[in-house]
């Protein structure tokens, strides 16, 4: 028996004593916790620990750190870059049972929740308060997972991303210490901004167990519109001009003609198979009308056909179709997987990069629909691949590299919201250069034994093996 195997066995024995039946070695449970929504190959944890409190997480991490056993935080399993795949084995730490809403302050417009609370669960709880939490990545992710991956989504253009809406955190460090970052004040000049450090750290610096969030007032009125265009440029230019004019649009989503075809088939719609904007307006009854009319003028000037509605049923049906777009893309080739990638660029370059990658994707033998949150310069490409075909994987890698390289050339980032995980470690170095050495130094300081989600963020080197300094 190897030293690592002995260490894992010893840790599991201690965890069983702590958790009882909430420490599972069942193959079905391990398989469930060894995959996410990405194309990356699954890997099995040695066991799955189901935590119910910050105190339990602290004790679990202290045990695993003492035995130098990897710990991989797990929320809802909705990540796109392999964040929760236990590439070095170890313990998958399931936080989904930590699903209590601990405090709501309507007066201060904030809320504190455990990390396992789901996005939809939170908004259902807040329904009678007149407040809501607006960040909408599409998936019904956990709040802790959304913090760890610095999630954003369809409403970022109006309400910001997780980075702007997290006020404070409770975090358990690798050795079991518990720290609290930030607070409930809306601004602070007190020390390093540890909250921002952990938001987007992908489980590599600590385990987030509680989150204090900024809330927003529910809009008095909501209106929805679709607008189809003969060209991608017309659609993108309309989105850019909307932002530049300061129209306070709540959502502006782009689906290219390939994605519209997929959505029509999957969600049984009959939208024109052209580049299309999905638009949503929040505000007073008069305000949403004024916003819609202003965008309509821009759309028509760019060759668009504009149709808007304030009917809740139609709005819900179309947004459900938008949120199911990833599944619609996957359904283009049953049995295959989405290689989901994303970039973000300054909006002045948005039309250039989307037009470029659409032209390159059209030359490929793989379907690759494009959709995005174009109001903030972020968009996605879903390359549908047979994971068992080396040829297809190589082609997907080529398209992904073309997209990311172009985005970086234009002053953008290799990922706007999916994160680095396993899939974009190389591009992190390309984007940040020597800054990655600083990130590694922070990781080494907080997790010297490299037990927290090893293999993620950084291209591995010998010293990154879990259990080594």
Range 27-35 contact pairs with CB under 8 angstroms and sequence separation of 24 or more: 30/92, 32/77, 33/74, 33/77, 33/84, 33/86, 33/92, 33/94, 34/85, 34/86, 34/92, 35/77, 35/85
pLDDT digits (tens, 9 = 90+) for 32-70: 999 998 888 899 999 999 999 999 999 999 999 999 999
Of these ranges, 175-189, 395-409, 455-469, the one predicted with the greatest mean pLDDT is: 395-409
CATH of domain 221-326: 3.30.70.2190
**Tell me, which fold does domain 101-217 have in CATH?**
3.30.465
* The CATH number of domain 3-96, selected from 3.20.20.140, 1.10.1040.10, 3.30.43.10, 3.40.50.2300: 3.30.43.10
Residue 468 has pLDDT above 50, yes or no: no
CATH of domain 332-417: 3.30.70.2740
The boundaries of every CATH 3.30.70.2740 domain in the chain are 332-417
Structure token digits, residue 459: 């291209």
438 Cβ contact partners less than 8 Å away, ≥ 6 residues apart: none
Mean per-residue pLDDT of the chain = 93
The boundaries of every CATH 3.30.43.10 domain in the chain are 3-96
Q: What is the arithmetic mean of pLDDT over 388-417?
A: 96
The pTM assigned to this predicted structure is: 0.93
The boundaries of every CATH 3.30.465.10 domain in the chain are 101-217
The boundaries of every CATH 3.30.70.2190 domain in the chain are 221-326
How far lies 242's CA from each of 24, 249, 279, in Å? 51, 8, 11
Q: What is the arithmetic mean of pLDDT over 292-307?
A: 93
């Amino acid at each position: 028996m190897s030293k690592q195997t002995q260490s894992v066995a010893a840790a599991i024995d201690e965890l069983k004593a702590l958790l009882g039946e909430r420490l599972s070695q069942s193959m079905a449970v391990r398989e469930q916790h060894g995959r996410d929504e990405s194309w990356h190959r699954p890997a099995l944890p040695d066991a799955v620990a189901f935590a119910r409190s910050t105190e339990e997480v602290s004790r679990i991490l202290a045990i695993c750190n003492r035995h130098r056993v990897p710990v991989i935080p797990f929320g809802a399993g909705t990540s796109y870059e392999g964040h929760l795949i236990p590439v070095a084995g170890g313990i998958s730490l399931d936080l989904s049972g930590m699903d209590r809403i601990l405090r709501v302050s309507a007066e201060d417009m904030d809320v504190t929740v455990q990390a396992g609370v789901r996005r939809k669960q939170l908004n259902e709880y807040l329904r009678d308060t007149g407040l809501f939490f607006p960040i909408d990545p599409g998936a019904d992710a956990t709040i802790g997972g959304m913090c760890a991956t610095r999630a954003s989504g369809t409403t970022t253009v109006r309400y910001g991303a997780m980075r702007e809406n997290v006020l404070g955190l409770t975090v358990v460090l690798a050795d079991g210490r518990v720290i609290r970052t930030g607070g409930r004040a809306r601004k602070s000049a007190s020390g390093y901004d540890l909250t921002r450090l952990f938001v987007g750290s992908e489980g590599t610096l600590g385990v987030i167990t509680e989150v204090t969030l900024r809330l927003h007032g529910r809009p008095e009125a909501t209106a929805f519109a679709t607008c189809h265009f003969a060209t991608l440029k017309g659609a993108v230019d309309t989105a850019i001009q909307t932002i530049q004019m300061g129209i306070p649009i709540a959502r502006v989503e782009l689906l290219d003609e390939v994605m519209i075809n997929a959505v029509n088939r999957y969600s049984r719609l009959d939208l024109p198979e052209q580049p299309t904007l999905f638009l949503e307006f929040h505000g007073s009854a008069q305000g949403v009308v004024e916003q819609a009319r202003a965008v309509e003028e821009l759309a028509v000037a760019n060759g668009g056909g504009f149709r808007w509605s304030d009917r809740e049923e139609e709005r819900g049906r179309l947004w459900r179709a938008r949120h199911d777009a990833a599944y619609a893309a996957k359904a283009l080739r049953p049995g295959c997987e989405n290689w989901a990638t994303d970039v973000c660029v300054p909006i002045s370059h948005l039309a250039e990069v989307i037009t470029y990658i659409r032209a390159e994707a059209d030359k490929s033998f793989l379907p690759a629909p494009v959709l995005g949150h174009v109001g903030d310069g972020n968009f996605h490409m879903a390359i549908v691949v047979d994971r068992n075909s080396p040829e297809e994987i190589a082609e997907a890698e080529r398209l992904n590299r073309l997209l990311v390289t172009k985005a970086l050339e234009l002053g953008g980032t290799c990922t706007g919201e999916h994160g680095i995980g396993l899939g974009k470690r190389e591009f992190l170095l390309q984007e940040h250069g020597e800054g990655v050495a600083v990130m590694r130094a922070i990781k080494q300081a907080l997790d010297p034994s490299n037990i927290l989600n090893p293999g993620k963020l950084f291209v591995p080197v010998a010293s990154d093996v879990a259990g080594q300094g």
